[in-house]
Amino acid sequence: MTGVLLQISALNKRFGGVVATDGLNLAVLQGETHAVIGPNGAGKSTLIAQVSGALSPDAGSITFDGLDVTRLPAHRRAALGFARSFQVTSIFPSFSVVENVALAVQARSGSSLRCWRPVRSEAPMLEAAHAVVAQVGLERVADANAATLSHGEHRQLELGLALAMQPKLLLLDEPTAGMGADESARMVELIEGLKPRFTILLVEHDMDAVFRLADRISVLVSGRIIATGPVDDIRRNAEVRAAYLGEEERGA
């Protein structure tokens, strides 16, 4: 890990009387998996939305790879290397798995949209799509309509759509949401395999997954980061246990 890839400074976002992010400061280092945890309503998804460009902050700044992106729209950030997965899957259900991924490859490369027709000129795009499908463990259902996939497979596909963008920063918003134990374990294993190649900002409620995946953790409570550090430091932090983990510090 070398240097700061994403720097968030004094970020503020309000929805009427609700303060979603309140002077929030966060630094994500190049090459790390940085998890943001916190109770429901802490502002985690609002933070991810502001980082991705889906929401504009009321104040503060977001710097990516040395460039101020605070006011850039989401599509401009995507071109710079942002890719995001969502709590709720966002795919084309009537297209096959590989067609969904090929569209994401096309968006990155600017190739034509003829990816589901047997056109030789599109072979490199389809090869890239099949490689991503295999990477997320969906080669067995590559030609199946996305609508027929299980919930866990939908989430794997959505991860594939993000990876097809070849991102510099991968934003994962609750990647195991709604999954059973087996599906969740499979997703965690997939993300763990991505760690050597991507910088990841992860929002996740499953603390076992967080502790397994994260290099550092930031704890968000009422729109503010109250602690940031390695996994073991966050586990031992009394303020974190009281505010989020639901435990009270026990005296020695």
Q: Is residue 14 part of a domain?
A: yes
Residue 96: strand pairing partners:
145
Structural domain count, the chain: 2
pLDDT at position 246, please? 57
Q: Is residue 88 part of a domain?
A: no
pLDDT at position 200, please? 97
Domain CATH code at residue 67: 3.40.50.300
Of 23-27, 162-166, 213-217, give the lowest mean pLDDT range.
162-166
Q: Is residue 89 part of a domain?
A: no
Residue 150: CB atoms within 10 A of its CB come to: 12
Q: Is residue 206 part of a domain?
A: yes
Whether 179 and 77 map to the same domain: the answer is yes
The overall average pLDDT reported for the chain is: 87
Whether 172 and 154 map to the same domain: the answer is no
Whether 8 and 128 map to the same domain: the answer is no
pLDDT at position 241, please? 80
Asked whether residue 89 carries a pLDDT value surpassing 80, the answer given is no
Tell me what the mean pLDDT of segment 93-122 comes to: 70
Per-residue pLDDT band for 130 (boundaries 50, 70, 90) equals very high
Last residue of a domain, one of 166, 183, 209: 166
- Cα–Cα distance for residue pair 243/240, rounded to 1 Å: 5
Whether 46 and 115 map to the same domain: the answer is no
Whether 113 and 130 map to the same domain: the answer is yes
Convert 63-74 into a string of H (helix), E (strand) and C (coil). Answer: EECCEECCCCCH
pLDDT at position 168, please? 95
Do 39 and 207 meet the contact criterion of CB atoms below 8 Å apart?
no
The percent of residues above 90 in pLDDT, for the chain, comes to 64
Q: Provide the total of helices (H) and of strands (E) in the chain, helices listed first.
A: 9, 10
Tell me what the mean pLDDT of segment 24-44 comes to: 94
Of 112-116, 136-140, 228-232, give the lowest mean pLDDT range.
112-116
DSSP state of 252: -
Q: Is residue 86 part of a domain?
A: no
Last residue of a domain, one of 150, 166, 182: 166
In one letter, which amino acid is 59?
A: A
pLDDT at position 238, please? 86
Whether 72 and 102 map to the same domain: the answer is no
- Cα–Cα distance for residue pair 153/56, rounded to 1 Å: 31
- How many CA within 13 A on the CB side of residue 13? 28
What Rg, from alpha-carbon coordinates, does the chain have? Answer: 19
Q: Is residue 87 part of a domain?
A: no
**Both tokens of residue 149?**
């996939």
Whether 172 and 248 map to the same domain: the answer is yes
Per-residue pLDDT band for 107 (boundaries 50, 70, 90) equals confident
Asked whether residue 247 carries a pLDDT value surpassing 80, the answer given is no
Q: Is residue 183 part of a domain?
A: yes
Whether 18 and 30 map to the same domain: the answer is yes
Whether 171 and 147 map to the same domain: the answer is no
What are the residues whose beta carbons fall under 8 Å from the beta carbon of 249, sequence distance 6 or more?
238, 241, 242
Tell me what the mean pLDDT of segment 116-141 comes to: 79
Do 224 and 46 meet the contact criterion of CB atoms below 8 Å apart?
no
Q: Is residue 73 part of a domain?
A: yes
What is the pTM for the complete model shown? 0.87
Whether 70 and 116 map to the same domain: the answer is no
Of 45-49, 117-121, 137-141, give the lowest mean pLDDT range.
117-121
Whether 171 and 52 map to the same domain: the answer is yes
Residue-wise pLDDT for 58-86, tens only, equals 999 999 999 999 999 998 998 899 998 76
Whole-number Cα distances in Å, 67 to 15, 77, 199: 27, 11, 17
Last residue of a domain, one of 166, 189, 215: 166
Whether 252 and 181 map to the same domain: the answer is yes
For 220, the 3-state DSSP assignment is strand
Asked whether residue 198 carries a pLDDT value surpassing 60, the answer given is yes
| Domain encompassing residue 232 | 1-81+167-252
DSSP state of 27: E
Residue-wise pLDDT for 158-170, tens only, equals 999 999 988 999 9
Whole-number Cα distances in Å, 59 to 44, 64, 70, 88: 17, 17, 9, 27
